[in-house]
Amino acid sequence: MYTLDVIQQELKEDIARFGRVVYVNKGEILMRPEECMEHFFVILEGRVKISQINFETGKEQILYLLSNGDMYDIITLLDAKVHENVAMALDNVKLLVFPIELFREWIETKPSFNKLFLPYVAKQLREVETLASDLSLYDTTTRLIKLIAKNIETQGDKQTLKLINNLSHEELASLVGTVRKVLNRNLQSLKKQGLIDIKRKEIFIKDSQNLLEHLPEE
């Protein structure tokens, strides 16, 4: 994950001079695509979904989720073209917003920034590549299990799904490339197998070992 603290010392003056804190309420769009031509942001608090939406059908595909320390929009930063994604707040979000040209200057002149930025870009590319291959190669059940497995976090003797917990079933469906009805059927199947439990929007891991055994070999 990108950590702003690591580069704060070298870039402290630029951050203080050009960065501004912005708050976005849950359910609101962070920036229109045209605004991302001029601004670049780092998430300080909350979660954001990055989606492609077919506005004729209303179908949404969530490409990835962003959280504390993540950046957006890397594509526009690198190619200086409008990027027709939708960035929406899943929680009340706190952002640190910069002029996009400042980040372009950092890429050209700050080696310490690039040591963090380039691996972060690679990580984002891998996530989109994995999504594309999963949609082509695996069924909905496998994609759902992979999503759950990817987001398991261990806290003491408990396992949680911090990043995807409390998401609506519509949003979970959009993450795995299906519709709510199919997602619900798959969730209930995993529940009947004793692998998970579901209470409202919360998914609880009951048997992570057997759940992970359902993953394809890579």
pLDDT digits (tens, 9 = 90+) for 32-58: 888 889 999 999 999 999 999 998 888
Task: Provide CATH 2.60.120.10 ranges for the chain.
Answer: 1-133
138-214 belongs to CATH 1.10.10.10: yes
Max distance between CA atoms of the chain, in angstroms, equals 56
Burial class (CB in 10 A: 0-12, 13-18, 19+), 115: exposed
In the prediction, which pLDDT does 156 show?
73
What is the C-alpha separation between 76 and 155, in angstroms, rounded? 36
Give the SS3 label for residue 55: coil
DSSP state of 37: G
Q: How far is CA 108 from the centre of its chain?
A: 26
pLDDT digits (tens, 9 = 90+) for 132-157: 999 999 999 999 999 999 998 887 77
Average confidence (pLDDT) over 120-126: 93
In the prediction, which pLDDT does 213 show?
86
Cα–Cα separations (whole angstroms), residue 90 to 21, 107, 171: 18, 29, 10
Six-digit token pair at 140? 């909905």
1-133 belongs to CATH 2.60.120.10: yes
Least confident of 56-60, 105-109, 131-135, 213-217: 213-217
Residue whose structure tokens are 């919360």: 202
Task: Provide CATH 1.10.10.10 ranges for the chain.
Answer: 138-214
What is the C-alpha separation between 211 and 205, in angstroms, rounded? 9
Banded pLDDT at 1 (limits 50, 70, 90): very low
In the prediction, which pLDDT does 41 show?
93
Average confidence (pLDDT) over 51-67: 92
pTM here is: 0.87
